[in-house]
Amino acid sequence: MPLAVSQTPTIGAEIRGIDLSQDISQENVEWLEAQLVRHKVIFFRDQNIDPAAHLGFARKFGELETHPVNPKEGFSEIMVLHNNAEKPPSGTAVWHSDVTWRAKPSLGSILIARKVPNVGGDTLFADMEAAYEFLDDATQSEIKGMKAIHQFAPMRRYLIESGADAERLARFDLDYPPVLHPLVRTHPVTGRKSLYVNALFTVGIEGVPNDEAKRLLRNLFATAVRPEIQCRFRWQENSIAFWDNRSCQHYATADYYPNERLMERVTIQGDQPF
Ligand code: OGA
Ligand code: MN
């Protein structure tokens, strides 16, 4: 039987005793699903799997997404995150949950490290259920029922960098208009509430004047930065992090420039937040 070793009381666990290069049993898939929901992010070490096995593993948990930026050649469902002296780390060094600009943001992401800097480049994770519980009663009732506006806009920069022309950009604006999600999300498996706004993609609140919304959002974003609700993962080559995008946020520390870091992500489709 595999084993889950907790990193902190509420977030993060390392999974031991499972080899992801082998076809894993349905029993283990269900066990991993339960660990993911319970710990919000699970980690694996020394999983020397190729892109096809990465995709095969991810498919056990649902349909896969195709991300509009930086697909891996020949594997449209793998997104490449590559930084080095020419491409300084930046975009993911902001607390966020993935693709909340989609009407149905991802259930989870499975990220594998292909090349890691000798030091630095850790990823941090924040428990957004704990963040919600940390809010005082007045704030919890203030945000109850509110809907936030999430927008693809910050991703446009990557599209431009990857050579997208005006027509392609216009197409993206059409394909991904701003979406509304509740500020307080209910986890579809556990029924637990979490704070569901993030500093990367959340730009406003429906029906709330901009200044006021920005002020409130700033305070809500700040909840993710409390060390008490976080865990931190030190990567090695062939380490994997699999996070529950419905209940946690993450932050890629941009401290390793000009060293190289190469990661590949597969993302599992999720459902509409409620
Ligand atoms: C991601 C992401 C974090 C990292 O893959 O969605 O934010 O540490 N990556 O590279
Ligand atoms: Mn991310």
In total, how many domains does the chain have? 1
Structure tokens at 153: 């806009």
User: Which residues lie with the beta carbon below 6 Å from any ligand 1 atom?
Assistant: 81, 92, 98, 109, 111, 123, 250, 252, 263, 265
Domain assignment present for residue 107? The answer is yes
- The range of the structural domain enclosing residue 19 comes to 3-268
The C-alpha atoms of residue 266 and residue 112 are separated, in whole angstroms, by 9
Residue 220, domain CATH? 3.60.130.10
The list of the chain residues with pLDDT below 70 reads none
Assigned domain for 274 exists: no
Report if residue 102 sits inside a domain. yes
Give the whole-angstrom CA distance, residue 14 versus residue 233.
10
Q: Name the nearest CA neighbour of 123 among 86, 95, 87, 82.
A: 95
- Domain presence at residue 231: yes
Query: What does the pLDDT look like over 236-245, one tens digit per residue?
Result: 999 999 999 9
CA–CA gap between residue 270 and residue 187 (Å, rounded): 11
What is the CA(251)–ligand 1 centre distance, in A? Answer: 7
Residue 236's pLDDT is what?
Answer: 98
Q: Ligand 1 test: best mutation among 67, 78, 79, 109, most atoms within 8 Å of CB?
A: 109
Is 153 a domain residue? yes
Residue 239 lies in a domain: yes
Q: Which residues contact 260 (CB under 8 A, 6 or more apart)?
A: 82, 83, 84, 85, 115, 117
| Nearest-CA residue for atom 4 of ligand 1 | 252
Q: Whose alpha carbon is nearest atom 10 of ligand 1?
A: 252
Examine residue 45 and state whether it is found in any structural domain, yes or no.
yes
At residue 144, the pLDDT reads 97
Give CA–CA dist 116/107, Å, rounded.
Answer: 26
pLDDT for 1-47, tens place per residue? 899 999 999 999 999 999 999 999 999 999 999 999 999 999 999 99
Ligand 1: residue of 250, 253, 257, 268 to mutate (most ligand atoms within 8 A of CB) is 250
Residue 265: beta bridge partners? 79, 111
- CA 94 to ligand 1 center in whole angstroms: 10
Closest atom of ligand 1 relative to the 79 alpha carbon: 5
Q: Which atom of ligand 1 is the closest one to the Cα of 123?
A: 8
Pocket test for ligand 1, best of 92, 255, 260 (most atoms within 8 A of CB): 92
Q: pTM of the predicted model, to two decimals?
A: 0.96
Q: Which atom of ligand 1 sits closest to the CA of residue 263? A: 10
Which residue, by CA, sits nearest to atom 2 of ligand 1?
92
Distance from Cα 98 to the centre of ligand 2, integer Å: 5
What pLDDT score was predicted for residue 92? 85
- Hey, which residues are catalytic here? 96, 98, 250, 265
At residue 159, the pLDDT reads: 80
Nearest-atom number in ligand 1 for the CA of 121 is 8
What's the confidence (pLDDT) of residue 264?
98
**Residue 273 falls inside a structural domain:** no
